[in-house]
Structure 1
Amino acid sequence: MKRVALIGFGEVGQTLAGDLRGKVDLVAWDIAFADPTSLPSRALPSHDVRRAGSAAAAVEGADLVISAVTAAQDLDAARAAAPGLAKDAFFLDLNSCSPGQKTASAEVVESDGGRYVEAAVMSPIGPKRIASPMLLGGAHAEAFLTAAGGLGFDGAVAYSPVVGRAAATKLCRSVMIKGVEALLTESLLAARHYGVEQVVLDSLSDLLPLPDWNKTAHYMISRSLEHGTRRAEEMREAARTVEEAGVPAPMSHAIAERQAWAADHRAALSPDLIAMLDAVIARLERK
């Protein structure tokens, strides 16, 4: 592979750009490039990446297109890029969206001659970056691994020839992981009000043994505060995934609301509640 197009230049796009630098010719497009003060626009000068004027222009001549946009923009990104795809170019969809959304994006890409590969990134992108564990899906998953050898996708495995199963695996797991984050936030805020948070955490160790519930709670609450907006969006896709299976998803919708609440709590909550949450985190850090 000689040319790679990045559709979306947020955290994931920038991380991949750093890892692919010097290996391929890189071009990027992001809807935020329209605003020169946006984070993607400001990040461009520090990366060896050419800026394209549109998604279709970015993917022209690319051997690999990587879609790393928000879940809500997944299908729109595929539609915007597909007309410019070279025949048999790989389209790697990293976005955390439902199996139904992945299938719709695959149909768009395949109808324009591209080879669609879904990817479910099964860990935060930061620690292992491009080598993060990924479940790949679709008829072209194995061919992609062969073609992308040397680019650094060392944690990727061909998981299923059926598009959507990788997404279902990740998002069904997200119901549990993001749900525990939301429950801990809600539980410990209330427990802090009553002055019983440490007793609650100690009792959790008896019921659900973990090496360190204090550390776990601190990590999970902090993740919600730092990435709640993105996690809320992922949980909306998790809810869509559950509903596509014919199962009502009130819990998943509630988790999405709590994650969104955590992300913007400093602007939305009273000073007393802000201080309460900060105190919970501070006490957990000292344990």
Structure 2
Amino acid sequence: MRLRFAAKRRRRAEVMSGDPRSWKVGLVGYGEVGRILAEDLRKAGVAVAAYDIKLDDDRAGPLRDHAAKIGVVLARSHADLAGQADLIISAVTASQAVPVAQACAPAIGQGTWFLDFNSASPGAKQRAASRVDGANGRYVEGAVMTSVPPYRIKVPLLLGGGGAKELAPLLVALGFDARVSSEQLGVASAVKMCRSIMIKGLEAMVIESFTTARAYGVEDAVLASLKETYPGIDWEKQGAYFFQRVIEHGRRRAEEVREVAETVREAGLTPWSAQGTAERQAWVADLADDGLFGARGTKEFARSPDWRTEADRILAMLKAEK
């Protein structure tokens, strides 16, 4: 037993000091972001393992099919994943950032990197770091600065924490567009969270504004006025994109904005805007779960550039409820 443990430690030391493309990357969370990262890492020849709580229920089928197709090893648990990975990337919903760190910590290897990809408050990142660093792992916060799908693994990524400078070039070698924001833990996440007040808030405001305008039949006048004030924005295209993203990912976005609200509270302010944004995003997610926008998981809206179809569905539902 001691010999096997010593050999494992020697191998880990050799791997961690060498080419990161020889690492095994462990993904916690095999949703949209996790699958994109897995695909790009596998194309680069990197070994990838993954774990997702959906693997334990009736949602496992598509995840298993995807993993088999691209050569990802599926772990049995957080501990199973943590025990075999040289770099752990946590890409789950915001509320699970700290629980995932806590679940991985007991099995994490000496010196194993833990990259927290989640949209969580600086306080949450600090709590997650205490779990990982306390188990002799190496925690680095990551702040994803825009939507992942258009950029894939090259999505702009800010890093923070004491190990950020060391990890940054290693991530770049793996294909990431990573740069150090600060060696102080929480700074990168603060940038992300403050940006999200604007981005996620604008999504919620557009849905509320455009749907209300449609109800009164004044949408064309509203769009014309917006174009005059902000001529650099294609409001038709932007509105369609915002509707699409919230319909497809409103649940995840609502959780993120609740973390945004917590970030605002940590600064000493009352998060009136963030709270309202979270409620609107969650409301749209509830409608999507109830099938208002078509069968769950379809790309029906993504095929249409017209947000009016979805606004009309919302208005018809509200009328039926009266």
After TM superposition, the score normalised by the length of structure 2 is 0.80
Q: Which amino acid aligns with 1:86?
A: G
Deviations along 1:95-125, one digit per CA (max 9) or x if unpaired, are 0111100000011110111111111111111
Q: CA deviation at 1:281?
A: 8.2
Deviations along 1:68-88, one digit per CA (max 9) or x if unpaired, are 111111111001111111111
Cα separation, partners in 2 of 1:6 and 1:125, compared to 1, 3 Å: same
CA RMSD for the aligned pairs?
A: 2.2
Q: Which amino acid aligns with 1:122?
A: M
Deviations along 1:6-41, one digit per CA (max 9) or x if unpaired, are 111111111111111152222111111112543434
On the 8 A contact 1:74/1:105 being kept in 2, the answer is yes
Q: Name structure 1 gaps, 5 residues minimum.
A: 271-275, 283-287
Partner residue in 1 for 2:137: 114
Cα separation, partners in 2 of 1:81 and 1:192, compared to 1, 3 Å: same
- Once residues 195 and 61 of structure 1 are traced to their aligned partners in structure 2, the CA distance between those partners, rounded to angstroms, is 58
Question: Does residue 1:169 correspond to 2:191, yes or no?
Answer: yes
Q: Which amino acid aligns with 1:232?
A: A
Partner residue in 1 for 2:309: 278
Q: Which amino acid aligns with 2:31?
A: G
Q: Which amino acid aligns with 2:203?
A: E
Q: How many residues align?
A: 277
On the 8 A contact 2:226/2:235 being kept in 1, the answer is yes
Question: Does residue 1:92 correspond to 2:123, yes or no?
Answer: no
- Once residues 150 and 279 of structure 1 are traced to their aligned partners in structure 2, the CA distance between those partners, rounded to angstroms, is 42
Partner residue in 2 for 1:183: 205
Cα separation, partners in 2 of 1:35 and 1:167, compared to 1, 3 Å: same
Question: Does residue 1:10 correspond to 2:41, yes or no?
Answer: no
After superposition, residues 28-107 of structure 1 pair within 5 angstroms as 28-38=50-60, 39-107=62-130
Question: Does residue 1:20 correspond to 2:51, yes or no?
Answer: no
- Once residues 45 and 238 of structure 2 are traced to their aligned partners in structure 1, the CA distance between those partners, rounded to angstroms, is 38
After superposition, residues 118-157 of structure 1 pair within 5 angstroms as 118-153=141-176, 155-157=177-179
Cα separation, partners in 2 of 1:37 and 1:213, compared to 1, 3 Å: closer
- Once residues 205 and 281 of structure 1 are traced to their aligned partners in structure 2, the CA distance between those partners, rounded to angstroms, is 22
After TM superposition, the score normalised by the length of structure 1 is 0.90
Cα separation, partners in 2 of 1:279 and 1:113, compared to 1, 3 Å: closer
Deviations along 1:171-217, one digit per CA (max 9) or x if unpaired, are 11111111111111111111111111010111112233324222222
Partner residue in 2 for 1:210: 232
**Local SS of the residue matching 1:87:** coil
Q: CA deviation at 1:46?
A: 2.0
Question: Does residue 1:260 correspond to 2:311, yes or no?
Answer: no
Q: CA deviation at 1:47?
A: 2.7
Cα separation, partners in 2 of 1:36 and 1:280, compared to 1, 3 Å: closer
On the 8 A contact 1:32/1:41 being kept in 2, the answer is no
Q: CA deviation at 1:268?
A: 7.8
Q: Which amino acid aligns with 2:198?
A: M
| Of 112-121 and 22-31, the range deviating more from structure 2 | 22-31
Cα separation, partners in 2 of 1:281 and 1:19, compared to 1, 3 Å: farther
On the 8 A contact 2:121/2:193 being kept in 1, the answer is yes
Q: Name structure 2 gaps, 5 residues minimum.
A: 1-19, 294-306, 314-322
